[in-house]
């Protein structure tokens, strides 16, 4: 790089607080009145030319309703075919887990140590492959799905009901958990979503509820169910409520084998769906008291009653509404708006789409355009969408690597609280330096997104065309004079792309 280029890179870096610790974080641009770009940039994972055409064709009212109540539209053919060919798409969860469990047992039974080590490594590699499939599917949908609000809410709820991929054989369960427990209910009713999560083996394994039995309470899931999933840490529950909910959850677990034997008087209570099992022999049938109200002994129906109570509690409406506003609006959502959202949440029986509609139509949402700092997931996806639009990515590996480097890998949060939603968690100088490197990789066309893995890799020619109609009609109007000046002094199209993708304005939505 010549001296002039180094100087220009330094200019862009300073604008992003890339350099020494005394630099301030980038400042949010103001809203652009009358242009749909700021709105599109927030309701999608990131604006693109094709998404802008969709919005302009439908108009704002229809576009919003289509996003809140999406049809089951497939992705473009190439991406949909890629997903359809995945093991997680073709093999049901029960079959997949049972196959892997047999593979693990076979490996453990090998007598020769070296052969056992090889077999165990192969088992772990298969789990890693399944996790990679789930992450690839997630990114392909984020990049190409026309239902962008649904895909963002899929990420939001996966983060809210977070599970960590590294526990046991969870990597084999992630695809089904995301597809059937989370994504299927992402814009539906919160109670349905809560119930799907509470009976999915991924959550039960992650938070140890399969170990929860009468006389041997494990409170992990009960505590997080109230603190993180429903009421919130200040939701008015006590340690006694945690213990009572844990009693309700006794016997709720996983069965990867055959049906266990039951005493005659308990057989009617036994429930099994796929890998989910309610085993009455492990359940505490004593009466319980949860949140000041009794729960009569009825087996698995006790859990349904408890979930009804948690889902409809006013504290849950407030907690979920504030978290939605934190994700979609800014780091300090207005109290009055959160209150209105909570009222809509309660009056609609936890209708997620109805609650979001109130948020998206609110004057507070309109006024906050361009004020939310992007977390790593949004920065990576928005940059690729803007750079390549509908051009099919052949390899999401670079994107997964970027997310790892910035500390937000899919399914990688070790603790059950999910990744932080405030943008202030992601604007450190080190974070910004990594974003500048990502912008340079994408902008130069050398990111590796269009080169397949394997012994005979295929590569397509792909160079981002960022100086397009979307840029000149909308994006250029949002740029500060310093950014525009840096772009004018770019020595090449690659440099120009890098400057744009790393501009302060590209860090906000």
Residue 372 vs residues 36, 353, 421: alpha-carbon distances, Å: 17, 21, 10
Q: What is the mean pLDDT of residues 464-480?
A: 95
Q: What is the mean pLDDT of residues 310-335?
A: 98
Q: What is the mean pLDDT of residues 152-171?
A: 98
Cα–Cα dist 489/482, whole Å: 11
Phi, psi of 395 (to 5 degrees): -150, 110
User: What pLDDT is recorded for position 82?
Assistant: 95
User: What pLDDT is recorded for position 37?
Assistant: 95
Structural contact between residues 210 and 229, judged by C-beta atoms closer than 8 angstroms: no
Range scoring the smallest mean pLDDT among 52-61, 124-133, 247-256, 261-270:
261-270
Q: What is the mean pLDDT of residues 419-446?
A: 95
428 — pLDDT class (breaks 50, 70, 90): very high
Cα–Cα dist 253/273, whole Å: 11
Cα–Cα dist 248/372, whole Å: 40
339-362 pLDDT, tens digit per residue, is 999 999 999 999 999 999 999 999
Q: What is the mean pLDDT of residues 298-318?
A: 98
Residue 256 vs residues 99, 101, 274: alpha-carbon distances, Å: 10, 8, 9
Long-range contacts of 55-60 (CB under 8 A, 24+ apart): 60/36
125 — pLDDT class (breaks 50, 70, 90): very high
420 pLDDT above the threshold of 80: yes
User: What pLDDT is recorded for position 257?
Assistant: 83
User: What pLDDT is recorded for position 18?
Assistant: 36
User: What pLDDT is recorded for position 453?
Assistant: 83
Which percentage of the chain shows pLDDT scores above 90? 88
34 — pLDDT class (breaks 50, 70, 90): confident
20 pLDDT above the threshold of 70: no
> Domain residue spans in the chain?
3-68+373-507, 92-311, 314-367
4 — pLDDT class (breaks 50, 70, 90): very low
List beta partners, residue 216: 213
User: What pLDDT is recorded for position 132?
Assistant: 98
Q: What is the 3-state secondary structure (H, E, C) of 151-205?
A: HHHHHHHHHHCCCCCCCCCHHHHHHHHHHHHHHHHCCCEHHHHHHHHHCCHHHHH
Closest CA to 169 of 54, 280, 256: 256
Cα–Cα dist 272/252, whole Å: 10
- Mean pLDDT across the chain: 93
207-227 pLDDT, tens digit per residue, is 999 999 999 999 999 999 999
| Per-residue tokens: 17 | 């607080």
163 pLDDT above the threshold of 90: yes
| Of 135 and 457, the one with more pLDDT | 135
User: What pLDDT is recorded for position 29?
Assistant: 53
262 — pLDDT class (breaks 50, 70, 90): confident
User: What pLDDT is recorded for position 33?
Assistant: 56
Structural contact between residues 503 and 483, judged by C-beta atoms closer than 8 angstroms: yes
User: What pLDDT is recorded for position 9?
Assistant: 39
Residue 28, SS3 per DSSP: coil
16 — pLDDT class (breaks 50, 70, 90): very low
User: What pLDDT is recorded for position 260?
Assistant: 81
457 — pLDDT class (breaks 50, 70, 90): confident
Q: What is the mean pLDDT of residues 61-90?
A: 94
User: What pLDDT is recorded for position 315?
Assistant: 98
| Of 453 and 85, the one with more pLDDT | 85
């Amino acid at each position: 790089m010549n001296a002039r280029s180094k100087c220009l890179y330094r200019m862009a870096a300073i604008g992003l607080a890339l350099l020494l610790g005394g630099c301030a974080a980038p400042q949010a641009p103001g809203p652009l009145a009358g242009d749909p770009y700021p709105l599109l940039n927030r309701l999608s994972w990131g604006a693109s030319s094709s998404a802008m055409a969709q919005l302009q064709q439908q108009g704002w009212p229809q576009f919003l309703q289509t996003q809140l109540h999406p049809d089951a539209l497939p992705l473009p053919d190439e991406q949909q075919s890629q997903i359809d060919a995945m093991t997680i798409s073709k093999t049901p969860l029960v079959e997949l887990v049972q196959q892997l469990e047999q593979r693990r047992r076979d490996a453990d039974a090998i007598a020769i140590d070296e052969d056992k080590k090889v077999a165990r490594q192969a088992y772990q590699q298969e789990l890693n492959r399944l996790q990679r499939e789930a992450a690839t599917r997630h990114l392909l949908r984020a990049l190409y799905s026309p239902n962008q609000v649904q895909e963002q809410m899929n990420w939001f709820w996966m983060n809210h009901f977070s599970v960590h991929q590294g526990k046991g054989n969870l990597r084999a369960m992630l695809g089904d958990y995301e597809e059937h427990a989370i994504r299927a209910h992402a814009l539906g009713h919160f109670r349905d979503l809560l119930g799907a999560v509470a009976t999915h083996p991924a959550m039960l394994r992650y938070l140890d509820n399969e170990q929860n039995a009468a006389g041997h309470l494990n409170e992990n899931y009960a505590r997080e169910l109230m603190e993180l999933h429903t009421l919130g840490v200040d939701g008015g529950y006590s340690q006694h409520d945690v213990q009572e909910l844990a009693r309700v959850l006794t016997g709720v677990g996983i069965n990867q084998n055959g049906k266990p034997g039951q005493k005659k008087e308990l057989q009617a209570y036994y429930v099994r769906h796929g890998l989910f099992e309610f085993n009455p022999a492990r359940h505490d049938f004593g009466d319980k008291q949860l949140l000041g109200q009794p729960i009569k002994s009825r087996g698995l129906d006790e859990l349904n009653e408890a979930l009804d109570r948690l889902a409809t509690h006013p504290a849950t409406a407030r907690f979920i509404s504030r978290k939605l506003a934190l994700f979609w609006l800014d780091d300090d959502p207005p109290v009055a708006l959160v209150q209105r959202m909570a009222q809509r949440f309660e009056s609609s029986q936890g209708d997620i789409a109805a609650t979001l509609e109130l948020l998206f139509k609110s004057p507070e949402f309109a006024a906050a355009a361009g004020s939310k700092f992007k977390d790593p997931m949004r920065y990576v996806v928005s940059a690729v969408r803007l750079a390549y639009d509908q051009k099919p990515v052949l390899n999401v590996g670079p994107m997964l690597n970027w997310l790892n480097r910035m500390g937000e890998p899919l399914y990688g949060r070790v603790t059950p609280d999910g990744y932080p939603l405030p943008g202030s968690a992601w604007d450190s100088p080190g974070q910004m330096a990594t974003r500048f490197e990502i912008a340079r990789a994408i902008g130069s066309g050398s990111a590796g997104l269009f080169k397949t893995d394997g012994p005979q890799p295929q590569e397509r020619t792909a160079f981002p065309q960022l100086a397009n109609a979307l840029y000149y009609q909308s994006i250029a109007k949002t740029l500060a004079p310093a950014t525009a000046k840096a772009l004018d002094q770019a020595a090449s199209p690659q440099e120009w792309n890098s400057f744009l993708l790393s501009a302060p304005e590209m860090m906000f939505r």
